[in-house]
Structure 1
Amino acid sequence: MMGPNHEFYNRRTRSTRFNAAVIMSTSWSCLDCLRLILVTSCLVAFCWELPSGVEAEDSFCQALTPSPTLTQFVDKLPIPYQIPVNTTEISIGAWKIKQKLHRDLPPTTLYAYGESQETARFPGPTFEATLDVKARIHWENHIPDNKHFLPVDTSINWAHPKHGGVPTVVHLHGAETESIYDGHPDAWWTPKGEHGYTYVTQHYSYPNSQRPALLWYHDHVVGITRLNVLAGLAGLYFVRSPKDKLTKLFPYGEYEIPFVLRDLQFWANGSINFPNIGDNATIHPTWCPEYFGDTILVNGKAWPYLEVYPRVYRLRLLNAANARFFNLSLSEPSLRFHKIGTDGGYLETKPQILKSLLVAPAERLDLLIDFSKLKPGDVVYVNNSAPAPFPDGTDSFSPPQTRSVLKFQVTAWPNSRQARGRPSNSDLRNALQYVESARTVQKIKYTNALHRYLRLQEFDDANGNPIVSLIENRTWRDPVVDFPREGAVEVWEWINTTPDAHPIHVHLIQFKVLNLQPFDENGYLNGSCNIEVGFSKPGTCFTGPPLPPKIYHTGFKDTAIVWPNFVTRYGIRFQTSDGRRFPFDPTLGPGYVFHCHILDHEDNDMMRPYKLIH
């Protein structure tokens, strides 16, 4: 796979690190100037609330003070508690809590979902939904803060409640649902009763009429999604079918393990270290192009361990990081990941047997790992080799500790279970053979499909520091220009002219990555060649033929990696993922959105609305 424009990207990262180094080594008078900017900004609501007992300290974009040294693999992996959801409405609130994220770290201030403040945790409760059975959730906001405990940058589009408070709105990521329940970025609410202009209700209804899959829910407020998700407002949501024979053929119950990955950076008192000085503080006082932490968390614990029996386990994995990609591998050479599903459910191809897994922010993976040939006492580490920013980052954003994720500790079967032997659902070969024989392939024709061309753009200051990212040179507030027809088949061609790989997410639907094709970025930008000439007639900017989807592109997706210097083509059918009509009218309400799921990009205008029509 061809990488990004290396010269441009390295210039950008050198520039960013140089600027931060200059700031930290300059005279106090210069620092006083920066502080004056921040203090002045606070007068117009650029300020934020620090957790109790925290003293204000400057934190520079992409040059954060390292976290305190923490011993890895001393905390047991927690499993979020489960809540069944159906037509009986339940109430789930966003709360301010304290949570221990490592044995040796003081409790961390978070915002988190739960039925009460006492049960609220990060990740939030795991919802168990049933195929074709509606789920009803009343989402509430009980956050007491008048201002966010992380720095809000009001120089970018954001909710800006006039009476204060922390706005929230919930997006069920991957769900096929009415737009009034989709968590539209301007449908937020606060505990003080203030609402965004697309707000309709907090009583959400999810039809669960799509293919069984792992979804996830997270906050989606315009301009502060990166803050609210980083603060802890996220959790898992399973859609399961009672007719799915694989549910019992594969490992289930205690042998089906959710893995929610993310990264954070901490101060010594346990609070989150988040930049309060941006790359270009005169334009965006606190906004930073990407947030990278030096501490890896799984299910809300830093570098935990999990005891496993010598059998097959099923792992349901989510990358919930703001910007960090993960490339996961296992330290035991004999082990492999058996990938059986992705964002939209089971693969339509045979299971993929892989040594490594690349997973971008918001992507999910359905995996099997067979520990049956290992013996008690054996240890297997999950490692990470993805650079940050991806794909061509630097060591400064990926210190050595970010290479470690989790430890599996193989333990002996208890005597009561040894007598029964291994459960039948641990037979990996039979399970995989069943998947291959039972799979169905949906053939969708894209020959006469409408093509939409969508440029990803980054605009920098004179020093090469990013100041905004756009799609088709439009901001979030620009009028809607994309109106797909319900039931139509389209090809969306993402033309990436930036140095980053972007995980692009489209609300409401599942799509397939058709192919990707390299192009001459300089020629395209200066107008000496073209791309937008149709799916079957390559434009003069292309530098090679279309390439098949990469292994991490396969399956039904709602989020996929769009590489720099490539055109990546999504094949989209505006129906349910199993080919049916939506059980609701998708043309009603405020409509849907598509955006980059690097949340720092999304918050600074790399997000656009779209509306379906009949």
Structure 2
Amino acid sequence: MATHFVLVAEKFFQLIAWTWLIPLLLKSVTAQPSICQQLDPSPNLQMFVDKLPIPATIDISTGAQLTLGIYKITQKLHRDLPNTTLYAYGTSQATASSPGPTLRAKRGIISHVRWENHISDPFHFLPVDSSIHWANPKSGGVPIVTHLHGAEVESASDGHPDTWFTEKGETGPKFVTQNYTYANSQPPTMLWYHDHVVGITRLNVYAGLAGVYFINSPSEDAYNLPSGDFEIPLVIQDKQFYANGSLNFPNVGDSPLIHPIWCPEFFGDTILVNGKIWPYLNVQPRLYRFRILNAANARFFTLSFNNSKLSFDQIGTDGGFLYKPIVLSTLTVAPAFRVDVLVDFSSLAPGTDVLLTNSAPAPFPSGSPALSPNGTHVVMKFHVISADSYTPGASSSIPSTFPPYAAINLTNVTVTRNLTLQEFDDSNGNPIVSLLGNLTWVDPVTETPLVGSTEIWQIINLTPDAHPIHVHLIQFHVLNQQSFDETGFLNGSCNLSKNFPKPGSCFTEKPRGPTVDQIGWKDTAITWPGNVTRFLIKFTPQDGSSFPFDVTAGPGFVWHCHILDHEDNDMMRPYVLH
């Protein structure tokens, strides 16, 4: 372990040769300095002056190919803020927006999307740190590749980080095609699409490249859920701004002699929902369905209402419906999480205002108050409209149960993998890299599951932060979690092969079941610090059938931390099915 990290460190120090370090530092100081986690505050903006926008919807269930391009645009994010330069998805530059259009597919009907790159900028408009491994196109430009997060999809259409392409036609080492095919064979759920280029995912997503994707099914009609105007996606992000409206992002790292620009986590001081800063939504006194996505780079959200009459009835998570609703007063949503909730406003008098608030610390779960200023404690406002403007819609209700899903059989587990999450710091205690299994992105593949097999992945978190770990292609269950003695594990005085309370065991308690945010089908789950979190994974579709495509074909799949700043700096690993 130590030997491997010495080699990794040597690679980093080789990269800081003065031939490129001096130009990078000069570039950083000639621009307005934005120091990692010490950014100048955004302009003082009034809350709740902009109505919540609803992204345009495109039906992709017709069988016809949809072409979605990536364009450079400007967009009004707040009434009193000048237009902001973004990269965005759209069918044309005129229609491109952030978030991108909502794509609606139908279960069992294949969809075809062609992704095009129309960004002609010679360089990214956000600061790129060349000291970390990234796409680095020889001809310049902004590389992109789109991943449909949570999809059961062939790897050629998965948005592998090394399948990027530029506007000039330069491609990554594993590029296959720009024409993607989505089987849509999984249960109805909410997915999301976002950029996934190796080394600059954090920049491209922050710049605007994200959107919502629904898989719908006629089977949903039986549940009498809110629909149409009463089913609303909420894409939540945090950002920081200059007075001229442009995005503020760090251009001075916390360990500049190793990474001149890279920052361990980006936390903004301003919350956006569907591309508007602290918006409001007029709601009728009735039941609503909110499909919530945390599209932030690193910030967790713990959502609640400032009115005790309201709660969340959570009916679904990443992979679709829960077995039955869970009534929650708070809802913790990690980066990349999707949650499907019902909220009933019928008990509130017309004219009532309700705030959706956030109490999650940053970094999560310990946090620093300086990284969660007052603006991050408020997400948006709901305003209950007056009785005379209330137009009743079709009735809807909260189902008592949903059809049970097939359990993953523990007796069929063939492999148990021990996979560490580790952070390495410089001599001043500043993080310089986080690794999975003490390996970098470019190290040889070590996870090679057998198609149809069932495995337990024991995620051993040796860092001070929670990490949302995402596994491409499949949905899994969090089996349990268990706290352990990190110091004893690292110095070898105990081990994880012995169960609590046996002598020599590193565990300090019996296994605990999943927390409420880990229940149900998951493609991304929180792994808590000081804990071993066990993922129960069956490498088949959710329903246990066979994949309708060859999952052993290249370029393969990946698993990674979905704190994008971590993912970009080697907290991502390839895996290959065989």
TM over 0.5: yes
**Alignment correspondent of 1:325:** 300
1:95-174 to 2 correspondences below 5 Å: 95-174=71-150
* Distance in 1 of aligned mates of 2:503 and 2:203: 41
**Alignment correspondent of 2:507:** 542
**Alignment correspondent of 2:285:** 310
Query: Does structure 1 residue 516 correspond to structure 2 residue 481?
Result: yes
* Distance in 2 of aligned mates of 1:149 and 1:72: 28
C-alpha deviation, 1:578, in angstroms: 1.6
* Distance in 2 of aligned mates of 1:483 and 1:473: 17
> Which of the numbers 476, 484, 500 marks the counterpart of 2:465?
500
Structure 2: runs of 5+ lacking an equivalent: 1-15
Query: Does structure 1 residue 371 correspond to structure 2 residue 336?
Result: no
> Which amino acid is 1:397 matched to?
L
> Which amino acid is 1:280 matched to?
S
**Pairwise CA RMSD of aligned residues?**
2.1
> Could you report, residue by residue, the CA deviation over 1:489-531 in whole angstroms, capped at 9, with x for unpaired residues?
1100000000010000000000000100000000001111111
**Alignment correspondent of 1:570:** 535
> Which of the numbers 244, 268, 271 marks the counterpart of 2:243?
268
C-alpha deviation, 1:534, in angstroms: 8.5
1:427-446 to 2 correspondences below 5 Å: 428=397, 431-433=398-400, 436=401, 438-446=402-410
Instruction: Give the structure-1-normalised TM-score.
Output: 0.89
Q: What secondary structure does 1:457 align onto?
A: strand
> Which amino acid is 1:76 matched to?
K
**Alignment correspondent of 2:523:** 558
> Which of the numbers 426, 447, 455 marks the counterpart of 1:482?
447
**Alignment correspondent of 2:7:** none
* Distance in 2 of aligned mates of 1:539 and 1:368: 47
> Which of the numbers 306, 310, 335 marks the counterpart of 2:310?
335
> Which amino acid is 1:561 matched to?
I
The 4+ residue runs of structure 1 with deviation greater than 6 A are 36-39, 534-539
C-alpha deviation, 1:443, in angstroms: 2.3
1:175-574 to 2 correspondences below 5 Å: 175-246=151-222, 249-348=224-323, 350-412=324-386, 418=391, 421=392, 423-425=394-396, 428=397, 431-433=398-400, 436=401, 438-449=402-413, 450-532=415-497, 540-574=505-539
Contact 2:500 2:508 in 1 (8 A): no
C-alpha deviation, 1:590, in angstroms: 1.0
Structure 1: runs of 5+ lacking an equivalent: 1-35
**Alignment correspondent of 1:58:** 33
> Which amino acid is 1:424 matched to?
S
* Distance in 1 of aligned mates of 2:504 and 2:460: 12
> Which amino acid is 1:379 matched to?
D
> Could you report, residue by residue, the CA deviation over 1:565-604 in whole angstroms, capped at 9, with x for unpaired residues?
0000001011111221110010001110000000000000
> Could you report, residue by residue, the CA deviation over 1:200-237 in whole angstroms, capped at 9, with x for unpaired residues?
00000000000110000000000000000000000000
Q: What secondary structure does 1:515 align onto?
A: strand
C-alpha deviation, 1:334, in angstroms: 1.1
* Distance in 2 of aligned mates of 1:548 and 1:423: 39
Q: What secondary structure does 1:440 align onto?
A: coil
Q: What secondary structure does 1:608 align onto?
A: strand
Contact 1:451 1:535 in 2 (8 A): no
> Could you report, residue by residue, the CA deviation over 1:4-57 in whole angstroms, capped at 9, with x for unpaired residues?
xxxxxxxxxxxxxxxxxxxxxxxxxxxxxxxx9999647479959x9xxxx820
**Alignment correspondent of 1:13:** none
Task: Evaluate the alpha carbon distance shift between residue 498 and residue 218 of structure 1 in structure 2; reply closer, same or farther with a 3 A threshold.
Answer: same
* Distance in 2 of aligned mates of 1:526 and 1:535: 19
* Distance in 2 of aligned mates of 1:407 and 1:44: 42
Contact 1:46 1:153 in 2 (8 A): no
Contact 1:451 1:534 in 2 (8 A): no
Percent of aligned pairs sharing the same letter: 59
Aligned length: 561
